[in-house]
Every structure is written in C-alpha cells, then in structure tokens.
C-alpha cells in the first residue's frame, strides 16, 4: 500500500508541474505578441529616433563586416572544393559556377549570415538590454520622460531588419569571389566567364526570396534579442540567460522560417 500512496501523492505534483509549464508557455507567447504589437505601435508614432537607428545600423552592419567577410569567403571556397569531385565524376565540372551560385544565393548566404548575426548581434542585444534592465537604467529613462522602448528596442529591431539584406548580399558576393578564386586556380576560368555561367541560372525570384529571408531573419533576431533583454531578471545571472536564450531562440526560429519560406518559394517556382 505504501508505494501506491507515494504514487498517488507524486501524480498530482507532476500534473501541477505540467500545467504550470503549459501556462507559462502560452503566457510567453502572449507576452511576445504584446511586445511585437507595441513595436509596431511605437514604430509609427513620433518622435522618430533616426540618429539612434543610424548608430545601431553602424553597430550591426559595419562591425559585423570582418566576421561576415571571413565566413562568406571560406563558405565559397569550401563548397566549391567539396562540389568539384562529385561533378568531375560525371564530367560536369563546367557546371560548378552555376551550382555554387544557386547554393550561395538561395541558401548559404542568407542562412550563414543569419546564424552569425544571431550569435553576434542577438546575444549582444540580449546582454546589453538585460544589463540595463537589471541595473534599473531603463526605469531611470522612464523617469526622465524618455520612451525606453522606442529608443532601445524599436531602433535595434529596425537596424538589424534594414542591415540583414545588405549583409546577406555582401556575403553572397564574397562567397562567389572565394568560389571564383578556387575555380580559377584549378580550371583557369576568367572572371567574366565565371560570372556569366554563375548568373545564367539565377532568377529574380532567387534574389527576391533571399532579400525576403534576410528581412524576416533580421526582424526575428531583433525581436528575440530585445525581448529577452528587455524582460531580464535576477541580476547578472538573468543577463547571461537572456543573451543565451536570445541566440538559441533566434537560431531555432531561423531554421523554421527557412523551411517555410523554401516550401513557399518552391511552390511559386
């Protein structure tokens, strides 16, 4: 009888714990919805913090160029080197520029750049806003008649949403240049011939879908990073948790968005 009594006592506790987690999940979804709704409300209300938006664009875009350049170049070189043996087996080495351009423009440039931005920019937003939250700097801004949400959140989300398409196009260009150097070193292909072959298979839909992906990824990273930082709690431990959660959540949502957008684009194609 004793084990049955113990199980009967544990079962309600498990049910309560599961119920609490479910309630917390739906509460978080509602809070995110309110956060996004507030963003769009503040986005179209005055005053507009254009100077801070430009400053955040500099922080997000210019300061990410070195990492994005290195990653894009390596991606182009490595993908070209890995693809050459497979194409050579079928005597189709001349298709290499087309294959690389399709892979980089359609998938690799948006995805790689978004993941880098999630790790670098998303974590920075979560940590920065989280630090301001736990040290009560955000509360001080409210007391000084400054709208902290507009100045801190709206500007950051706008900046990364604007800059992600630029970074992704830049990554695609650097990746293609890295691929060209590898192709030129092995096949002695000229720059003109390489890019004619590469862009022969690229359509307007490919470029548009990449830019659309970039915009969605940027907005997702901005919302995830700012939301986690703006609602950080429990001191320095909460700041670290906010930065970590921002990165993990951003990357997860990016993969989900990638899957959905690819399905839609393929249906249109």
DSSP string, 208-224: HHHHHHHHHHHHHHHHH
Report the chain's terminal Cα–Cα distance, integer Å.
Answer: 66
Tokens of 256: 């989900």
pLDDT for 151-171, tens place per residue? 888 899 999 999 999 999 999
Ranges of H-type helices in the chain: 2-43, 50-60, 65-89, 96-103, 109-117, 123-134, 137-143, 148, 155-187, 191-199, 204-230, 235-268
Give the pLDDT score at 201: 83
pLDDT band at residue 229 under the 50/70/90 scheme: confident
Q: Is residue 269 packed enough to be buried (19+ CB in 10 Å), middle (13-18) or exposed (0-12)?
A: exposed
Q: The pTM is what? A: 0.86
pLDDT at residue number 4: 52
User: How confident is the model at residue 5, as a pLDDT?
Assistant: 47
Domain residue extents for the chain: 51-268
- In tens, the pLDDT along 78-124 reads 988 888 888 877 777 778 888 888 889 888 899 999 999 888 888 88
């Amino acid at each position: 009888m004793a084990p049955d009594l113990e199980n009967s006592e544990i079962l309600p506790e498990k049910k309560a714990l599961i119920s609490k987690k479910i309630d917390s999940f739906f509460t978080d979804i509602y809070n995110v919805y309110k956060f996004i709704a507030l963003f769009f409300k503040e986005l179209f209300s005055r005053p507009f913090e254009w100077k801070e938006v430009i400053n955040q664009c500099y922080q997000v875009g210019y300061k990410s160029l070195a990492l994005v350049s290195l990653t894009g170049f390596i991606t182009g070189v490595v993908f070209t080197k890995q693809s050459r043996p497979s194409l050579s087996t079928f005597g189709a080495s001349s298709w290499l520029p087309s294959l690389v351009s399709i892979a980089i423009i359609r998938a690799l440039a948006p995805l790689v750049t978004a993941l880098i931005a999630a790790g670098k920019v998303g974590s920075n937003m979560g940590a920065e806003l989280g630090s301001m939250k736990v040290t009560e700097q955000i509360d001080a801004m409210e007391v000084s008649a400054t709208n902290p949400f507009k100045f801190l959140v709206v500007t950051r989300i706008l900046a990364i949403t604007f800059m992600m398409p630029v970074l992704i196009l830049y990554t695609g260009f650097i990746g293609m240049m890295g691929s060209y150097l590898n192709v030129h070193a092995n096949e002695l292909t000229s720059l003109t011939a390489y890019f004619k072959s590469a862009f022969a298979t690229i359509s307007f839909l490919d470029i548009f879908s990449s830019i659309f992906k970039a915009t969605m990824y940027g907005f997702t990273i901005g919302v995830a990073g700012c939301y986690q930082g703006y609602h950080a709690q429990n001191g320095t431990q909460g700041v670290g948790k906010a930065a970590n959660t921002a990165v993990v959540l951003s990357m997860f949502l990016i993969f989900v968005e990638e899957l959905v957008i690819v399905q839609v684009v393929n249906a249109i194609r």
